[in-house]
Chains A and B, each alone.
Chain A
Amino acid sequence: MADSDNLTLNFGPQHPAAHGVLRLIMEMDGEVVHRIDPHVGLLHRGTEKLAETKPYNHSIGYMDRLDYISMMCCEHAYVLAIEKLLDVQPPIRAQYIRVMFDEITRILNHLLWLGCHGLDIGAMALFLYCFREREDLMDCYEAVSGSRMHATYYRPGGVYRDLPEEMPKYKANRFISKSKVKKLNYNREGTLLDFIADFTERFPSKVDEYEALLTDNRIWKQRTVNIGVVEPERAIELGFTGPMLRGSGVEWDLRRKEPYEVYDLLDFKIPIGLNGDCYDRYLVRVEEMRQSNLIIQQCVAWLNKNPGPVIIEDNKLTPPKRALMKHDMESLIYHFKLFSEGYSVPEGEIYCPVESPKGEFGVYIVSDGANKPYRLKVRAPSFAHLAAINEMVKGHMLADVVSVLGTLDLVFGELDR
């Protein structure tokens, strides 16, 4: 037989399985991948440079737009870093709210990941089920911040406002009858916490449904078992964090190892995989959803019992009450200074990581004592994960590239920044 050269194949940048804008240059020998060279940066917006030209609080919204699947976790890292530089501690209720929304975010992220990963591999129905549950969680985001995705809810010193007393309800119109609306609103009669509590009761059975579709599914296993295996030593060497590292059997979770906020008061387990293949990472993420559900339940129980302030009352850092501003000169001055100049952060540098659903999301801030960060660096977990794709797919078939891309859980907002 005549020797044939390797075929160079271009994948993306616009491709549904690329999960955004990713371009892969693949060197193929028939169906087998020899080398992959990912071209990233197509979504590079210079977030870090933009943040360096704005007061601290203006950039909280940018953090949502980094990992736009796990919005509040990104905010969390940024806000925590500023708090540590300022040496302030948010009220305990704010900490519980943040943890609750971090876990809601984790479920949001894993649901989207599961749906899209399934869709890539060919499980269409799952995608629709996952988005059904996501809808409820998006409503929680909306109820608390007014926005379904880019919440900008966390602030240095706490959260923007307390949890709302009532959930927004569906209203009847000429397409939806009154009786239908009543059915839709059955769990929206109480507070937001009641709504979340109702969700956490329903959710485990929904996870069972997903698992019934996938866990023992022959096609699912053929597509994921022994695909993209990473040994634990290699996972550490390659800078893997989060489910990618735990899937390889390394028990490492910042919520447990370097507890921030109130994670050390909560009870949860850390699932790990055994073989480090795509299937194990799937199992890890599914179990994480169940654990997150438990954490949310604990937070809801605590928050129901303990009212209190949700943001510190230091007017150099947080805005004064609106009513106070109308007759108190000091408050008016603080308000003006805060919204025109912002607050100055003491000189120093800090690296603050949180366990985002994708792995270790860290924010490194260098401050020179100004009202803007001198240097902001975002450590995105996906960045290290995608860098390893060449090693993970070498020798696999072309179709497995899609499995591996799915298992990496990439979001280009944070990868390209």
Chain B
Amino acid sequence: MVNKKYEQLNDLIDQYLNSFEIVKTNDGTSITLELKKDDLIEICSLLKNTEALNFSMLIDVCGIDYLHYGVGDWETTKATASGYSRAVQQNTIIPDPDEKYQEKRFAVIYHLLSIDKNWRIRLKTFTGSENPPIVQSVTGIWNSADWFEREAFDLFGIYFDGHPDLRRILTDYGFIGHPFRKDFPLAGNLEVFHDDLEQKVKYRPVSITTRPTVPKVIRKKKNS
């Protein structure tokens, strides 16, 4: 039942989006389209306004940082003398404003839903090497994108061109950095404390180090 529905959607996508350069993945129960970011607005409005597709609702927008994708924590080729301390992360990273990113570092992911047709689709677009990473805003197409895009901006530092009110949303007033980037330390950079002498709340560099108790291990399934 489900599969049939997505077969039909698959054919419709081929029919309506054949003029665009897209990479389509279809695993039978969900379809992902990886598209070029310049085509984003055109494809989105096509998906929403085409009667046969009818993606009337934008469920979610989220950012993703592929910096450490597929990299395990403790991968060593030879025995080391240092033991547990290998896992300690303590370096504070101050982003370099002139840094150029890898082509496939940041991506924005959109989850769309069609209420009438009862199907979903996932769109993915990479932001490229620009700093800051930037994509077009879809707030003009789906109003619900407003806060989701603000969130992705706040947590990943991805700019959304054409967003009416791109402010931070989840982090503290005056926060520096984008905490969900993979090079942002888990414990953060600053901690808050109350200065008894001056009788006010102040910031200082964090005093704790992050020690992952379980290392990230990647295990590939053996070909049987």
A interface residue numbers (CB < 8 A to B) = 40-41, 44, 46, 48-50, 53-55, 58, 236-239, 241, 250, 252, 257-258, 340-342, 344, 346, 348-351, 353, 360, 362, 364, 366, 368-372, 374-375, 377, 379, 383-384, 386-387, 416-417
Residues of B within 8 A of A387 (CB): 144, 146-147
Whether B109 lies near A364 (C-beta < 8 A) is yes
B interface residue numbers (CB < 8 A to A) = 27, 30, 32, 56-60, 62, 64-65, 68-70, 72, 109, 111, 115, 118, 120, 122, 142-144, 146-148, 151, 168-172, 179-180, 186, 210, 212, 214-221
Whether A351 lies near B30 (C-beta < 8 A) is yes
Whether A236 lies near B57 (C-beta < 8 A) is yes
Question: Known interface pairs A40-B169, A377-B62, A379-B111. Does A370 touch B143 (Cβ–Cβ under 8 Å)?
Answer: no
Whether A53 lies near B169 (C-beta < 8 A) is no
Whether A236 lies near B115 (C-beta < 8 A) is yes
Whether A258 lies near B32 (C-beta < 8 A) is no
Question: Known interface pairs A236-B57, A252-B115, A384-B147. Does A372 touch B216 (Cβ–Cβ under 8 Å)?
Answer: yes
Whether A49 lies near B186 (C-beta < 8 A) is yes
Q: How far is the CA of A12 from the CA of B97 in the complex (A)?
A: 36
Which residue of A has the minimal Cβ distance to B60? A379
Given contacts A238-B143, A383-B148, 13 further A-B contacts (CB under 8 A): A236-B56, A257-B118, A350-B30, A351-B30, A351-B60, A351-B122, A370-B217, A370-B218, A370-B219, A371-B217, A375-B65, A377-B109, A383-B147
**Quick one: which of B69, B118, B212, B220 contacts A53, CB cutoff 8 A?**
B212
Residues of A within 8 A of B59 (CB): 239, 241, 353, 360, 362, 379
Whether B144 lies near A237 (C-beta < 8 A) is yes
Q: How far is the CA of A53 from the CA of B182 in the complex (A)?
A: 11
Residues of B within 8 A of A375 (CB): 62, 64-65
Q: How far is the CA of A360 from the CA of B119 in the complex (A)?
A: 14
Which residue of B has the minimal Cβ distance to A387? B147
Q: How far is the CA of A232 from the CA of B70 in the complex (A)?
A: 43
**Quick one: which of A53, A238, A364, A368 contacts B111, CB cutoff 8 A?**
A364
Question: Known interface pairs A368-B70, A370-B216. Does A377 touch B60 (Cβ–Cβ under 8 Å)?
Answer: yes
Q: How far is the CA of A383 from the CA of B23 in the complex (A)?
A: 30
Whether A239 lies near B170 (C-beta < 8 A) is no
Whether A46 lies near B179 (C-beta < 8 A) is yes
What's the minimum C-beta distance from B67 to chain A, rounded to whole angstroms?
A: 10
Whether B216 lies near A371 (C-beta < 8 A) is yes
